[in-house]
Structures are given as structure tokens and as C-alpha cells.
Amino acid sequence: MILDDEIHQEAARWFAAQRRGPMSLGEREAFDAWRAEPLHQAVLNRMHEVWGELATVGEMIPAPRPQTRRRRNRAAIAAMVVLGLAGGLTAGAAWKFDRTSTVTGIGEQRSQELSDGSIVALNVVTRARYDINARERVVHLNEGEAAFVVHKDPDRPFRVRAAGYEVRAVGTAFNVRNRDQSLDIAVKEGVVEVRHLNGEAKPVMLRAGQRLHVADTSAKSRERLKISEISATAVDEWRQRVLTYEDVPVELVIRDINRFYDRPIAADPALGRRHVTLRLVIDDRTDTVQRLAALLGADIRDIGREDHLKPAG
């Protein structure tokens, strides 16, 4: 199947709009409607991957000031370069996936179509293994985060195993995060069943707009399992490099950010223990660190191999 040129052109326009800056409400609604189609989202994800590979293109071209013009020019350059590359891609070349495992590194996000027709998007620093054959469809998310758009096949339920739990779906879209001995499962559309692999507790049904959180997957007690509401658009926001947090310690935010950049960030212990609620766009590293410091009311200090955040004053 050859990917339609019009889809690539639309994806390039949305890609440029994302890089340009915050969208208006009307643009955001149109964007969400467009990317609701899994193939559209997959093409856009591929463009973001290529942008990561071509991030140095902007540095090769003299950047005019002010900064907003630089960003717009880089967005336009990236869109044109990506569109030129995408024209030669086929679905088989871009998405079909026949290996039994995938690993993403620091700053690397990857989308791919599995052999059963389902689409998986892997976040940074993620390890996944696949058992997909005529009898079963199982993904082992050993570490990291992934979003799934499941191809419907009632005879072969799609299962994701992570941290001793299993998520079972037939045809739906959901996100699984397995990091730092905690587990999060959020449903974008449809219904999934979550059960512990030891079989002791009853399965839990999650519907679109619900999120299940296990604070400590190493604990024997299941009392820490928590179900809450979540906006469908926030389920896999990380695919647009947007991180959202609600009442979490700063050290957790910093751990996540450090998975996007080679040069790490650190924080004073007192600042790291502070709980925050924030939404952070991950793009240019310098801009990201400065935004984080501003949100935390912190100063940035270069201490050689890392940037250190400490309370301002």
C-alpha cells in the first residue's frame, strides 16, 4: 500500500504548525480531528522521528532574529525536508515491522505497524518484545512507555504485559507506561481489561477516559491501585513531546526530561522533593530547561557535565 501524497502534505503542514508554537483553539480542534485517524498519526510520528535525525539542519543555516522567526524557519525547513523524504516512503518501508523486539534510546521515539496491522508508538528509552503469530498477539513492555492502536481481531485478543500486569484488548487505543517501579495504563478509546498475572485479584475494566495507576509494582499488596479520569487527548500527549504532570515530585519530572537529552539535569534535594502540577513542551534543550526553571522558580547553574537547578534567590 503506497501512502497517499495528500496525507504526507497534510502531515507536513501540521508538523510545521506544531513546531511554530501554540495553536489556536480552532487549530487544535482541527488537528485533533485529523490525527484521530491512526494512519495520519503514524505519518506525523514518522516526521517527528526524521526531525530528530535532522535537527542539525537548522544549525547549518544562519538564524535570523528574533527567536520566533528562527523557530518558524526551522519548522518550514523541517517540513520541506521531511515531505521530500516522505514522498518516497511506502507503508511497507515505513511501518511494517517483522523483528521480535525494539529498543529506543535517549531522545528517540518510534512508530511502527506490527504484522497484525496494529500500530505501536514507542517513547524514549523503551524496550519491547513481540510475540505475534497466528495464535496470539502479545507485547512485552519490559521498560518505558508505548501507545497502541489495536487492529480488531476477536479471535486473537491483543495483550500487553508489563510489570506483572496484563492489558487485554480487542480493538481499541490505549497507553502503557512502565517506569521506576510504577505502572500507568490509560485508555484513549474503547475498553481494556487489566489483570495481575498472578491471578489473585479480579480483572479491572477500563473505559475511554480512565487511567489506572499502580504506585509500586514490587509491592505484594494491591491496595495502591488507583483509577482516575483523564482527558482522551492527554492519554498519549508525549507523542507530540508534551509532558503533563499532576502532583508529582520534581525529581520524577527531571528523570523524564533526562530521557530526551544526552546532557542531564539535576536539582537540589529539597527542590527535587517538591510536588508540582505542570505541562511542559519538550523541544530545544536550552528552551526546555529554561521553561522548567521558570515554572519551578529556580536558577540554572552549569556545573560541567550537567545543568543544576536550585531555588532562586
Average confidence score pLDDT of the chain = 81
Give the model confidence (pLDDT) of 248-282 as tens digits. Answer: 999 999 999 999 999 999 999 999 999 999 999 99
Q: What percent of the chain is helix, strand and coil (3-state, nearest 5)?
A: 35, 35, 30
**All residues at 6 or more sequence positions from 273 whose CB lies less than 8 Å from its CB, including other chains:** 249, 250, 251
Confidence of residue 24 (pLDDT cuts 50, 70, 90): low
Which of 6-15, 36-45, 204-213, 302-311 is least confident? Answer: 36-45
Give the model confidence (pLDDT) of 154-198 as tens digits. Answer: 999 999 999 999 999 988 999 999 999 999 999 999 999 999 988
**All structural domains of the chain with their residue ranges:** 5-91, 95-235, 241-311
pTM of the model: 0.70
Give the model confidence (pLDDT) of 209-245 as tens digits. Answer: 999 999 888 876 655 689 999 988 889 999 888 999 9
pLDDT, residue 23, reads 59
**CA 140, CA 118: separation in Å to the nearest integer?**
15
Question: What is the grid cell recorded at 75?
Answer: 519548522
Amino acid at 298: A
Q: Which fold has domain 95-235?
A: Jelly Rolls (2.60.120)
Strongest mean pLDDT among 13-27, 103-117, 244-258: 244-258
pLDDT, residue 25, reads 61
Distances (CA, A) of 264 to 61, 131, 277, 308: 27, 35, 21, 9
Nearest-CA neighbor of 186 among 249, 235, 219? 235
Confidence of residue 17 (pLDDT cuts 50, 70, 90): confident
Give the model confidence (pLDDT) of 29-72 as tens digits. Answer: 788 788 778 788 777 776 665 554 444 333 333 444 444 444 44
pLDDT, residue 222, reads 56
SS3 at position 152: coil
- pLDDT (mean) for 3-8: 73
Distances (CA, A) of 50 to 40, 45, 56, 79, 145: 16, 9, 11, 10, 20
pLDDT-above-70 percentage for the chain: 77
**CA 209, CA 227: separation in Å to the nearest integer?**
10
pLDDT, residue 38, reads 76
**CA 311, CA 2: separation in Å to the nearest integer?**
53
Instruction: Domain 241-311: give its CATH architecture.
Output: 3-Layer(bab) Sandwich (3.55)
pLDDT, residue 63, reads 40
pLDDT, residue 3, reads 53
